[in-house]
Structure 1
Amino acid sequence: MQRLAPFAALALLAGPAGADCITRAESFLMCTVKGGAKELRGCWGPGDAGYQFGPEGGAPELVISVPLAQLDFIPWAGVGSSIWEEVNFANADLQYSIWHRVDRAPEGDPPSAGVTVTRGDETLAELTCDPGTISANFEGLYQAKAAIGQCWRDFLWQTCKSP
């Protein structure tokens, strides 16, 4: 499902922040949407993580940045027929949930990804990445969180205990 008009209006609500995915050392998700007209990027770098959305190859319309230690990242639980991961960015009363799914069965569905925009319990927009444009590295994001001393335990990122 793609409801695009509300998403375009929402993108203008967020002003520039500190993250710059174009120069980030690592991206956890990059793809185009709307037939290549727009691009979404999720990335991390020294100390922070970011989300950008805008015209492919152009200046982003939306930029959100948060400290890596505070990033709401839900890694794959290690069970099920598909690998599913999600990163959530808050901007005022809006949440941008960037997700990625890979079917583990060779004959399964092709990889998919996208962003869902919500306000409270209301879904305002859902954009799915154009087929064949998805580049994902959520494992790298997991390693980046571990590198700053965080462990995924009991469905929460926590400070790792020293041995």
Structure 2
Amino acid sequence: MRGLTLGVIALGALAGAASAEGCFGPGTPLFHCTLNGGTKAVDVCLQDDVAYYRFGPAGGAADILLARRAGAVDMRPWNGVGRSIFETATFSNGGYDYTVHYAIDRLTQAHEVTGGVIVTRGGDELADLSCDAGAVTVSDIYPLFEAKEAAGQCWNREMFRWGEC
């Protein structure tokens, strides 16, 4: 399969087009939160078989916007065990990995949702940014799982990794 080589997108035409949930036009918001007291936002969106990662000023042009075919995004589904429901999606770009994560505490009355983004390079953690308290407004990365399956990938529950079906 030919990979999508959009990499970091220059945002000229898209600068003001981002909705609060990070999708440009029709699409499925998978994750949204604000960070740093609401000054920054991180979003993950799925449009057809393309997943988008956006990080930057809330309501402004993105600092980073990555677009990848679903098959190229490393998505980790919840394993079905434990106190928290959690999922991750990792977007790679030029040696850097941007891992968006969220967790829902199943055992509290409020079902608190937390999340953030971890930036690594070569396995070294460069940043671990947590969403503002109560600021995760979209937290369902599972449609990316379905998009990966539609792309011919299967999740191996024993090995905890994706492979061909």
TM-score by length of 2: 0.78
Gaps of 5+ in 1: 1-13
The question of whether the paired residues in 2 share the 8 Å contact of 1:17 and 1:64 is answered with: no
- 2:142 aligned counterpart, secondary structure: helix
The number of aligned residues is 147
Structure 2: distance between partners of 1:82 and 1:32: 21
Equivalent in 63, 67, 74 of residue 72 of structure 1: 74
TM-score by length of 1: 0.79
Residue 94 of structure 2 aligns with an amino acid whose one-letter code is A
Gaps of 5+ in 2: 1-6
Aligned to 1:114: 116
Structure 2: distance between partners of 1:108 and 1:52: 28
Alpha-carbon RMSD: 2.4
Q: How does 1:23-34 map to 2 (within 5 A)?
A: 23=24, 24-34=26-36
Identity of aligned pairs, percent?
A: 35
Q: How does 1:1-163 map to 2 (within 5 A)?
A: 15-16=8-9, 21-23=22-24, 24-107=26-109, 110-134=112-136, 135-153=138-156, 154-160=159-165
Residue 156 of structure 1 aligns with an amino acid whose one-letter code is R
Residue 145 of structure 1 aligns with an amino acid whose one-letter code is K
User: Quick check: 141-150 or 80-89, which moved more?
Assistant: 141-150
- 1:35 aligned counterpart, secondary structure: helix
